[in-house]
Amino acid sequence: QVQVVESGGGLVETGGSLRLSCTTSGLTFDDYAMGWFRQAPGKEREGVSAISWSGNNTFYKHSVKGRFTISRNNAENTVSLQMSSLEPEDSAMYYCAAGRIRFGDPLNPSEYNLWGQGTQVTVSS
């Protein structure tokens, strides 16, 4: 049974940092690109960051470049998102997802078929 589980969300003040973690099981982890997505109330789910199966290629939504860093550990089947200089606009439910992407857009949620339940990030102003 495939499991994708996020952790690390919480409440933080503007300018603060959080580290999200995603653990997976039941899949051949290094067959999958991994992505972090977020969805705020009343808004569509959007891609925040993604990383290729090897970890050699990373992708970021423009508004988080320079503030967020994605990484993966294929030996431990985990992916992390280090978030710094957080802003209230970053508040959302954050989801981890896995997808066998070959030529698609790594920040497009439709490219991913395995999803976690999400972890809430709230940034107070």
pLDDT digit string (tens) for 38-62? 999 999 999 999 999 999 999 999 9
**What pLDDT score was predicted for residue 102?**
78
- Given this model, what pLDDT does residue 104 score? 87
How many Å apart are CA 9 and CA 54, to the nearest integer?
25
Picking from 53, 50, 54, 56, the residue whose alpha carbon sits closest to that of residue 68 is 50
| pLDDT < 50 positions in the chain | none
**pLDDT, position 51:** 97
Residue 105: alpha-carbon gap to chain centroid: 15
Structure tokens at 87: 């802003």
The CB density around residue 59, as the number of other CB atoms within 10 Å, is 17
Exposure of 114 in the CB half-sphere (CA atoms within 13 A)? 22
In this prediction, residue 101 carries a pLDDT of: 84
